[in-house]
Structure formats: C-alpha cells, structure tokens
C-alpha cells in the first residue's frame, strides 16, 4: 500500500522528538530482553538518562510494567532487572523511586478495556518481585489496604480487589491473621436467607462487640498513633474498619516494615506519548465496569467480612457496598477464575494443604499446574506427545483461565494449539499442527480471539508464517501486533499481507493509533502519525 509519509520531525517539536527517541530506545531494551542480552540491557539503563531524575525513573517504571504485561515469559527476567536496579540506588541517581512507581502501577485500577481476571499477570510480576526482596509481604498487604480505601470503597473495584487478596492469601495468613480468619469463618456459613433480617442484625451486633473489644485494646497499645476517638464512635465503626485497624497495628509494630509509600502526587507525567496506567484508567473509566452482580446476602465461601465505610469522606451509604467474596466468582465476568477453580475442585482448604505447597507452585509457574499446561508453557513436545497418546485426550480440549496466569491473553479460553501459539512454543505448536489441530476455531469470551492473534502476541515469526501459509485470517491480529509491541510483525502484515487503511478500526481495539497509545507503543504511535492517521478521531468500543 502506497501512502504519502510525513516525516515525524515535521509533526513534533525538537524536544518532543528527542523524548520519543529516548523512550523508543528504552522500550527496545525492555521488550527485547533475553538471557543473552540481559547484562547489555542492564548497563544501557544504568548509563541512561532515565535513572538521573524522578521523572525519568517514573518513565522507566512504567515501561517495565508494560513490558511485563506484553512479555509474559520475560517477567522473571524483568523482576531480576528491577531487583538489580533497586539495589543500585544511591545519592548519584534517583533509583530509590523505582519500587514506589512500580508499586503504584501494580495497584492501579484495572485497564478500562479488560476484565479484572485478565489482570492476574500483575500479581505474578509483583510476586516475583517479592521473592527477590524488592518488596516485603508487609508492604504488599499495606498496599492491599490502600487499594481498598482508594478504589474498592469509592469505585467498586471489587473484582480486582478479590483477585489481589487471593493472590497473596498465604502472606495475609502469615502477617495479618485477623484478616485471614475471615476467610475461614466464611467456610462454615453455607447460605444466608436474604429475607432473614434478624440473623443479619445478629451478625451486625457480633461485629460491633468485636469492634469495641478491638478498639479498647488498640487504645491501650497505641495512645500516640492517632487522635483519640471517643468510645461511642468506636463502637459504631463498621467491620471493615476493624480489619484496617488490626492491619495498621501489625504494620506499626513490625520492626522490619519500611514506612508506606505515598503515591497520590505522582500522576503528572510530561510525556505526549506515554499514558500513565493510573491516569489512563481514570480518564477512560466506564460505567460498564461497575458490576453489581453480588447481592448483599452472598455470605457463602471465603470473603472479608465488612460493611461499607460510613465515614463521610468516602461518600457512600452503608447499603451501597458489596461484600468482596474471596475465592468466589458468583458467575460474574470480572472474577470468573474463581468459578473455574471451584469447578476444578479447589477451595481454600485444599490450597492451604502442606503449607500452601501447590498454591505456591502455581504462583511460581504462572498458571494452575496440570500436565498439559506444563508441557505447553515449557514447550516440551515429548511430554505433549505422551499426553496425546491417551485415548481420553482431545486435541480441541479447552484450557480454562487461571487465577495464577502470567499472561492476559491466556485468559481467553484457549485450545492447546492456541495456547502454544501464545507462548511461542514452536515445538508443541508444530506437533499439534501435524496432528490436525483445528485452526479455524475462535475462542469466545466477551470477544473472539483468533489463532493468528495468539501467535502474534506470542511473537514467534515461525508460527506466524506457518499460519499465514495455512491462509489464516490476520485482520484482528494486526491490532494485536500493535498492542503487544510486535513491530516487525505489524509492518510485515500492514505493508505486505493486508490491504487496510491506516484508519482501519476494530470494535474491540479501536483504531491502530488508539491501540498504540493504550499499550504505550511509541514506535507504532509515530508510525501512525507519519502515515497521516487522524489523531483526533473519536473511538467507540465496548469500554469507552
């Protein structure tokens, strides 16, 4: 396709162009990170302008975050990089801010065009950083509390809150037993009659008594911590406040705890290309994300007992709150991974067995472990061949999404060959292809995802070429190439394979420029601008 190209130097001011070029270099280092070039990448960052100022470190943190989102198999390497950079903090640089900015990203609201269950990759990344001592478990639990205050109470981010709590349930059990006890208490409650107001009142009175006892103890132990509240006010506080106070006491009395980071004033980023995840989600928040499918009588399974804050600073009435039921999906889109676990026979007690042994294995691996998933993620075609020799194996079996998933795209219900394509597992992909795995099927969630899209996300040129030879449709995959920073694949599709205009759009992804901006892709944002893409064109899709 022949189009008149406008040089980017005619569209941007010199300082903007310089900034864009610097970020392109940074994104190239991070998105192409490998064991072979790890030392080279680390040294480039250490020698770069990005560690010399607070704004520069914020850019670095944001791009590390996006690299984790779109390079699922590199998250361990990225965590190693974060750990090393954090250890090099000194008075000569601004790396002391790195972990703070990353933590802000991990605990920002969900991307407005994704359901909460697709954000599990964040907590796989955060967990890997915790294992490397970048963050303590106490710091993470404190951030969970802040997330509750900043997003759940005010904005009903219940889905993401439930997933965060579930991801770090072992740490909550160890460091905040008062909170974890509510997980176990809920197990004994099979159901609550929504019309039984007397039983609900009894539960309320029990929590008021617990509140009074807890607050009297806190008063004696922490006279200097806060402005004294009179006893009547303490008795009337809701049950969630109990958990908040207990957690604060635990944090305040822990000698190893570093003072919690305050991040509220770090949203102003002087960059025309990069969209802060926090700023972006605020600007594009959609009312459809507020799922009120949980009724207030849902007390079965595992949850944090609480009621909404009645404090006027939250601006909510008590009856408007929804209980965040941990490990319970209630067949809602936001937290479908909990329904999957239940259908697979998992519950809190089975996960706790052997000191959370299987749970931790799944967290380490980045998916709920079973033989098929393990073979695909490790690209073990011998193991896959052994599995397929069983008469019970079905080539088109559906692999369910996982609470532990390291990748957002794997949360689309996938067949084994789609899963292999998304992982870039060339050997397993070829084995399944030779054995006549179906290529035409489209997995269905809120939108369909084609096998070409899985392959482009996975980034294997060999798999992409094989699918092209099989005449697979790459129309949707063009947008996925933009989202996943697969620049070479995008240019090959745009210039040689597809006959599309630069203004082409998708109900799911918007325009190419919109998708580039949403995924922090500076290189392809510039490509679209050079090809005269209308930067003011409004985009309408399901989420905005």
Backbone angles phi, psi at 443, to 5 degrees: -70, 145
Contact between residue 520 and residue 540 where contact means Cβ atoms under 8 Å apart: no
Distance CA 262, CA 104 (A): 9
- What CATH code is assigned to 335-531? 1.25.40.20
Q: Which of 457, 446, 450, 512 is nearest to 489 (CA)?
A: 457
User: Token pair of 170, please?
Assistant: 């072992």
Distance CA 314, CA 153 (A): 7
Contacts of 156 (CB under 8 A, 6+ apart): 290, 291, 292, 322
pLDDT reported for residue 231: 42
- Locus of tokens 């292999």: 420
- Locus of tokens 């007992």: 305
pLDDT reported for residue 3: 64
Q: Sign of the CA dihedral 59, 60, 65, 70?
A: positive
pLDDT reported for residue 239: 41
Mean pLDDT by runs of 10 across the 544 residues of the chain is 77 92 98 98 98 98 98 98 98 98 92 80 98 97 88 72 92 89 55 41 43 44 44 42 47 40 33 35 38 31 28 30 55 82 90 96 97 98 96 91 96 94 98 94 75 97 98 96 98 93 91 95 96 80 48
- Locus of tokens 């198999």: 73
pLDDT reported for residue 2: 56
Give the three-state DSSP class for 221. Answer: helix
């Amino acid at each position: 396709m022949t189009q008149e190209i406008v040089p980017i130097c005619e569209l941007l001011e010199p300082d903007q162009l310089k900034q864009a070029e610097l970020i392109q270099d940074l994104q190239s280092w991070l998105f192409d990170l490998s064991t072979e070039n790890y030392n080279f990448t680390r040294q480039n960052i250490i020698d770069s302008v990005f560690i010399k100022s607070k704004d520069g470190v914020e850019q670095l943190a944001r791009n590390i975050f996006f690299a984790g989102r779109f390079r699922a198999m590199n998250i361990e390497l990225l965590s190693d990089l974060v750990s090393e950079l954090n250890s090099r903090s000194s008075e000569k640089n601004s790396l002391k801010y790195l972990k703070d900015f990353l933590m802000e990203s991990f605990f920002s609201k969900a991307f407005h065009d994704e359901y909460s269950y697709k954000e599990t990759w964040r907590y796989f990344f955060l967990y890997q950083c915790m294992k490397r001592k970048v963050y303590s478990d106490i710091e993470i639990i404190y951030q969970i509390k802040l997330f509750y205050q900043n997003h759940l109470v005010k904005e009903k981010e219940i889905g993401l809150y439930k997933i965060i709590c579930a991801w770090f349930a072992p740490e909550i059990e160890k460091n905040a037993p008062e909170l974890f006890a509510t997980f176990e208490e809920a197990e004994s409650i099979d159901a609550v009659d929504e019309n039984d107001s007397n039983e609900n009142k009894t539960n309320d009175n029990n929590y008021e008594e617990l509140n009074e006892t807890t607050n009297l103890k806190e008063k004696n132990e922490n006279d200097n911590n806060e402005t004294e509240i009179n006893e009547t006010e303490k008795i009337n506080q809701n049950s969630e406040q109990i958990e908040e106070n207990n957690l604060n006491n635990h944090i305040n009395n822990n000698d190893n705890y570093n003072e919690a980071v305050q991040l509220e004033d770090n949203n102003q980023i002087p960059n025309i290309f990069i969209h802060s995840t926090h700023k972006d989600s605020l600007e594009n928040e959609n009312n459809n994300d507020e799922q009120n499918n949980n009724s207030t009588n849902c007390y079965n399974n595992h949850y944090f007992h609480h009621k909404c804050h009645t404090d006027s600073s939250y601006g909510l009435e008590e009856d408007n709150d929804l209980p965040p039921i941990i490990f319970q999906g209630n067949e809602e889109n936001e937290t479908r991974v909990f329904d999957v676990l239940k259908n697979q026979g998992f519950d809190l007690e089975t996960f706790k067995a052997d000191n959370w042994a299987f749970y931790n294995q799944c967290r380490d691996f980045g998916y709920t472990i079973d033989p098929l998933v393990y073979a695909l993620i490790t690209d073990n075609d011998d193991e896959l061949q052994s599995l397929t020799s069983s008469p019970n194996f079905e080539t088109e079996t559906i692999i369910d999404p996982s609470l532990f998933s390291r990748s957002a795209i794997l949360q689309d219900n996938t067949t084994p060959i789609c899963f292999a394509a998304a992982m870039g597992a060339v050997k397993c992909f070829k084995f399944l292809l030779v054995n006549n795995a179906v290529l035409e099927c489209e997995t269905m969630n809120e939108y369909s995802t084609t096998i070409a899209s899985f392959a482009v996300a996975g980034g294997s040129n060999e798999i992409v070429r094989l699918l092209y030879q099989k005449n697979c449709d790459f129309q949707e995959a063009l947008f996925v190439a933009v989202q996943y920073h697969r620049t070479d694949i995008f240019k090959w599709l745009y210039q040689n394979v597809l006959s599309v205009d630069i203004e082409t759009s998708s109900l799911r992804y918007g325009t190419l420029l919109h998708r580039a901006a949403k995924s922090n892709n500076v290189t392809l944002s510039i490509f679209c601008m050079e090809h005269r893409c209308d930067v003011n064109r409004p985009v309408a899709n399901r989420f905005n």
